[in-house]
Amino acid sequence: MREIVFDTETTGFTFGEDRMVEIGCVELVNRVETGRTFHAYFHPERAMPPGALAVHGLSDAFLADKPLFHAVAEELIAFIGDAPLIAHNASFDFGFLNGELGRCGRDVICMSRMIDTLAIAKQRHPGAKLTLDALCSRYGIDRSHRVLHGALLDAQLLAQVYVELRGGRQIGLSLVSDLVVEEVNLEAAAPRVARPPRHFAPTAEELSAHAAFMTRVKNPLWGAEASG
């Protein structure tokens, strides 16, 4: 099964007033990273607010020579294909992705393809802190290189979190076909020899020794029960 984990960086919280400036996508097949990724920056056609700049560090100067979204849309659509799309707080990222697609006249992505890791995490860890950083800590995923938010880096971290949220990597049943099973010919096997039965009844010597021992027991409990 092919899935795409993705993340976006934007100029703010509301598409229209705000725009997408970065997207990072990671391909999973059977919940294993294939190494295929898609990453692009976009010119937002507006100035970068200081609050957003503090989150991802993408300045107006850095984005000045980056393409507009519509110039990269075809390549992005081809990479995504018809795979389910996974994001953390996915409605936010879907809002901007579909907003940009609609703005340049492309078909938007059906929300039925959306998988929200935040919703999954709330079910698995109710009441816990569920940011990407917190989930990385919970699952022992190294995020030491994450100083600022970055769409591709965050998508790569989220891909690992998603696998853990789904139960971790497991060996598929398809691997059974790679096993070599040795057939056993029961008719050709050596006949099994039955062992003689073992006798556990006490010998006369053991009974005599037990009786002698019992005469030395003072005020036995079984004697009190018998007299009662």
**Numbered residues of the known binding site:** 7, 9, 56, 154
DSSP assignment string, 48-116: PPHHHHHHH---HHHHTTSPPHHHHHHHHHHHHTT--EEETTHHHHHHHHHHHHHHTTPPPPPGGGEEE
Please state, rounded to an integer, the average pLDDT across all residues of the chain.
Answer: 87
Show which residues are catalytic: 149
**Which pTM was predicted?**
0.73
- pLDDT reported for residue 140: 95
Give the tens place of pLDDT for each residue, 33-77.
Answer: 999 999 999 999 999 999 999 999 999 999 999 999 999 999 999
Domains of the chain: 2-170 (3.30.420.10)
Give the tens place of pLDDT for each residue, 98-137.
Answer: 999 999 999 999 999 999 999 999 999 999 999 999 999 9
Give the tens place of pLDDT for each residue, 139-171.
Answer: 999 988 876 788 999 999 999 999 999 998 654
**Numbered residues of the known binding site for substrate:** 7, 9, 56, 154
